[in-house]
Amino acid sequence: METEKPRILVGDKIVDEAIAMLRQNADVDIKIGIGQEELESVIENYDALIVRSVPLVTEAVLSRGKRLKVVGRAGNGVDNIDVDAATRHGVVVVNTPDSNSISACEQTIALMLAAARNLPQANAALKQGSWGRNRFMGNELYSKTLGIVGLGRIGSLLATRLKSFGMRVIACDPYITPERFKRFGVERMETLNDLVRQADFITVHTPKTEETVGMIGEEQFKIAKPGVRVVNCARGGIIDEQALASALRQGIIAGASLDVFSNEPCTGNPLLEFDNVVVTPHIGATTHEAQHRVGTDVATFVLAALRGEIAPNTVNLPCLMGDELDSLRPHLILAESLGKLYYQLDKGPVERVELTYSGEIANKETGIITLAFLKGLLTPVMGENVNLVNASWLAENRGVKVFEKREAEATGYLNLITACIAQDGKQTSFAGTVGLDNGSRIVRINRYQMDIVLTPYMLFVEHLDRPGMIGFLGTILGKANVNIATMQVGRVTRDQEAMMILSVDSPLDEVVMAQLRQLEGIRSVKAISLR
């Protein structure tokens, strides 16, 4: 029987190629400029919704969207989407911030060069019939220090490109790991003021928030390096425009380049009066390539979410670049499998989860790995309604406290994920690693050390460590036509208790489980499904 295609509602214009991509995989309805009331009335019929800055994706929309799995924002900001409500309802929210990143990066470089070489002034003078080269003496970027405020998508692209200009690149971003600074060959500044004191060019690439509005202002201009130039292609208001105008009048800075302003359209702004200020009307993302990518990217991400995959730009998940997500994928599989183990081994209510990331994985973005563990933990008791988006919220609402630890070394392993689960005065722990083949392996269950590949069907048997136990158990499984793929025994002390873990090719019925439990010396038998 043919599977019913998902239904997608497109509420604003995206390129024809993106629509074609969607229609290859889904039934698509296009309602450009759909009103709020109509959206609320029809959303129950759709699995996905694509919007731009309108309409509003509110709690009312999300609560009525019983089938809704993903909302795609064709663009960067998600101000028109209630992301918290989407998270509660388990709806993935994706956007396309990378779609215009290259365009914004190149606009930043263009404005830097225009300011450093006085290009707009030279262009205007020549068209007015004046040659006069000496008036337009400029400066090279080579050997200068570039200060990047915000080493996210655009900031890192800028660092890569301007290092090839021979610039020294420094950056300040308290939310970026030291590993990312090393990855892009950027010197990390502890504070914004440390950056300002050293930079010949300062460029901002942060979101506009209460924390970042006016973050470069009078205080920073007072301590800035003489002759500094500032660039803003991010959001208007991050650089205090009044303080910037004052610094220009006083000759504290050599010039500025602005694509964005506090109030847009920008008219009557005093910054427009300065010859050493280069301005453009918010065109950082205005390229044919960026607008094409916005449409095709949102289509790609929405279709990925509908397939149950993780899209690189999921707003209500930890933010990952595409290559970072690829490198973490085996660890996500491992973490979810470890999470699934608990309620199949122990039925007690969980009070606390502590995940320890050791070795190479400790330097990665572990937040999404923790979500994968919680998804695995909660799915056996809450069903298919648990996903990476709502796993943390569901855990919190069940009173589960979640903690992360990182350790530089993982003795005997390149990477190790250890889960400790506390409940009712007891603690259960297990650890796993990703092998060189990217396969998931479990290496410890409570006090038992072992090393076995995790497979869809497994059997965990606690028993007395005595001769013949493996044979007795194997005989019962053989008579039931259950094939053993792999098997390993872990023990602490000879002749005491041990644990046997078996990978089997098919699930075990209750009749076989009862026979196994009746074997002399068996303490417990648990059939585990990791499907």
Kindly list the catalytic residues: 235, 264, 282
Burial class (CB in 10 A: 0-12, 13-18, 19+), 190: exposed
C-alpha 270/C-alpha 458 separation (Å) is 71
Q: Could you give the C-alpha distances from 334 to 354, 415, 499, in angstroms and in order? A: 16, 11, 21
Question: Rounded to the nearest 5°, which phi and psi values hold at 116?
Answer: -65, -30
Buried b (16+ CB within 10 A) or exposed e, 237-258: bbbbbebbbebbeeebbbbbbb
Q: Which residues sit opposite 57 in a β-bridge?
A: 81
Tokens representing 438 are 């990217």
Contacts of 180 (CB under 8 A, 6+ apart): 151, 156
The three-class DSSP label of residue 209 is coil
Angle, helix 469-479 to helix 510-517, in steps of 10 degrees: 160
Rounded CA Rg of the chain: 29
CB 96 within 8 A of CB 297: yes
User: Using a CB cutoff of 8 Å and minimum separation of 24, what contacts does 132-141 make?
Assistant: 139/254, 140/116, 141/112, 141/113, 141/116, 141/165, 141/166, 141/167, 141/201
Contact 364, 313 (CB under 8 A): no
Other CB atoms closer than 10 Å to residue 346's CB: what's the count?
Answer: 14
Sheet arrangement for strand 497-504: 484-491, 497-504, 457-464, 522-529
